[in-house]
Amino acid sequence: MTFQYYLPRSSERAAIGAVFVTAGGVRRLIPDHWLTEVELSQQGGLLRLTYAYCTVEVAGQRLHVLFEDAIAGRLGTVIQAPLTPAVRYQPWVSSLVAIVPAAAVSALERR
């Protein structure tokens, strides 16, 4: 039995954005229309998603599928893996980091 660390949007109904799930189970939805830039680097090992209010860095292996879905505006659910060996043939997410500028935090708190 294998566990998926990425669930494409096609497997979800009525999704309005990407969902990021930490290893601790915390879930965050970021709407698609906030996405401004997508970058894949380190030979498919680092995906940087720049949103209007934050940047999310996804580290792992075989992140090309996530990159292609993000470019098309249909990134699904990204799940951070517990400390387990990587699955060789599918995307594996070892780390999720959200970087939020101080100005964005104060703007969100005022709402």
Residue entry with tokens 């990021």:
20
C-alpha pair distances (Å), 25 with each of 22, 28, 103: 5, 10, 27
* Residues whose CB falls within 8 Å of the CB of residue 107, separated by 6 or more in sequence, listed in order: 53
The dihedral over CA atoms of 45, 31, 36, 108, expressed in degrees to the nearest 10, equals -110
The verdict on pTM exceeding 0.85 is no
Tell me the domain boundaries of the chain. Answer: 6-110
Task: List, for residues 62-73, the tens digit of each pLDDT value.
Answer: 999 999 999 999
91: number of Cβ within 10 Å: 24
How does pLDDT run across 82-104, given as a tens digit for each residue?
A: 766 555 678 889 999 998 876 65
